[in-house]
Structure 1
Amino acid sequence: MEEFDPIDPLEKEPILGQTIIKGKRKNKNKKYNGLYEWVETIVAGVVCAVLVFTFVIRMVGVEGVSMQPTLYENDRIFLSNLVPLYKNGDVVVVTKHHIDDRPLVKRIIATEGQTIDIDFEAGKVYLDGVELDEPYIKEATHTKEGTEFPLTVPEGYVFCMGDNRNESMDSRDPRVGLIDTRYILGKAIFRVYPFTSFGFIK
C-alpha cells in the first residue's frame, strides 16, 4: 500500500500566494487590453470621420445675400459630393468661375442640352420654352448682367443663379458664365446652423 503524507496547511500559502499574484496579472492584462481596444475604437472612429468629411461630406459657410430666402449669410451647410448627376433645382457650391476666390453657392437652373431664356421685363425664366415655377426665389428676375439669351447649355456644364435674383452674381454675368460640372464641390443637402433652421435644404 502506498503511503501519502498529510498536506501541511503551511505549504498551501505559497501556492495560494502564486494564485493571487497570477490573478492580479490577469486583471492587469485585462485592463491593458480594454484600454487598447478603447483607444483603437476612438482612432478608427476619427479616421472614418476624416475620410467621410474629406471624400463624402463637407461643411461650408454661406457668405453674402445671393441665396436668400433659401440660405442666409453665416449659415453652415453640409455638402455631398456623391451625386451621380446634378439636376435642375439642386443647390450647389462651385469652387471656380468666381472673381474673389470664394466659393459660390447657387441653384442649378439648366443642365446640358437645355435652353434657358429670361424675360427680364416680366421677370420670368423659361426652360425649353416653358415658364419655370420658382417658389424659392426672393423676387422676380429683372437684372440682366450681360449674358445673351436664349442660351443652350453645352455638355458638361450647368447654368446657375442665386435665389435672390437681383442681388446675385451668377451665370447671367459673363465673368461667371456657365459652370463646368468638374468645378462643383458638392450638392448642399443639410443646414446645421443656425439651429432654428436645422434641416434638409429644399
Structure 2
Amino acid sequence: MKRNKFLSSFLDLAETLIISFFVVTLIFTYIFNSVTINGESMRNTLSPDDRVIVSLFSKVDNGDIVIINAQQAYLLDDENKLTENSGLYKNIVKRIIAHGGQTVDIDFIRGTVKIDGEILDENYLTLGLTHNDGGAFTGKYPVTVPEGYYFVMGDNRSVSRDSRFSDVGFVPQESIRGKVIMRFYPFENFGFFTAQ
C-alpha cells in the first residue's frame, strides 16, 4: 500500500513537472524571449552580456528599447521615395526615437535630437551624441519617418549603427522582434524598463 502511495505521489510530481516544463517552454517561445546583449551600442543602459526579457506582443512606442531583425534597411532616395537596401543581417538592440509621421532633426554640433521641432529629453544618454560620418541621413535632416516605420538610435551614439546609417535606416514594424521589458542578469542590475 505504501509503495502504491509513493508511486502515485511520484507520478503526480512527474506529471506536474512535465506540464510545467511545457508551459514555460511555450511562454518563452511564443510570448517572451530571453536575449543576451552583444556590443556597446546601448551602453550605459545595457552592457555586453546583460540578459534581458523581450515581450513579443507588447505595443512599442517612442523611448522603448527593442530588438530588431536588421536584415534589410529602408531609406529615402533623392525623390523622397522609400527604397530597400542591404541590412546588417543580424539582430540589434536600439531605442525607438520616432515613429511614422514624425520629423527627426539631428544637430551633430550641439548633440541634440529634435522630434517635430521639440528637443528630445534623453536623460539616459551619458556619452553624448556624435558620429556624423557615413550616416544614411547625414546632411539630409530633418527627415520625416514614413508611416509604418521607426527611427531608432543606440544610447551610445558614438559607436551605434542605427537609423543614421544606410545598413539600418528606417525600421519597419514587422522587423521589430519585441520590446525589452526587463533585465534579469547581472542580478545587481535587475530591473524593469519603461519608455523614456
Higher relative contact order (CA 8 A, sep 6+): 2
Extract structure 1 runs of 4+ deviating beyond 4 A: none
- Which residue of 145, 148, 169 maps to 1:153? 145
Secondary structure of 1:67 counterpart: coil
- Which residue of 97, 102, 105 maps to 1:109? 97
Partner residue in 1 for 2:64: 90
Cα drift, residue 50 of structure 1? 0.3
Cα separation, 1, equivalents of 2:94 and 2:106: 17
Secondary structure of 2:6 counterpart: helix
Q: Does structure 1 residue 128 correspond to structure 2 residue 128?
A: no
One-letter amino acid of the structure 1 residue matched with residue 105 of structure 2: D
One-letter amino acid of the structure 2 residue matched with residue 178 of structure 1: F
One-letter amino acid of the structure 1 residue matched with residue 113 of structure 2: V
Partner residue in 1 for 2:82: none
Cα separation, 1, equivalents of 2:89 and 2:53: 20
Taking the TM superposition and a 5 Å limit, the aligned residue runs for 1:23-38 are 24=1, 27-38=2-13
Identity %: 40
Cα separation, 2, equivalents of 1:60 and 1:36: 34
- Higher Rg: 1
Q: Does structure 1 residue 45 correspond to structure 2 residue 20?
A: yes
Structure 1: gaps (5+ residues): 1-23
* Aligned residue-pair number: 176
Greater share of residues in strand? 2
Greater share of residues in helix? 1
Indicate conservation of the 8 Å contact 1:122/1:142, yes or no: no
Secondary structure of 1:166 counterpart: coil
CA RMSD in angstroms comes to: 1.5
Structure 2: gaps (5+ residues): 73-86
TM-score for the superposition, normalised by structure 1: 0.82
TM-score for the superposition, normalised by structure 2: 0.84
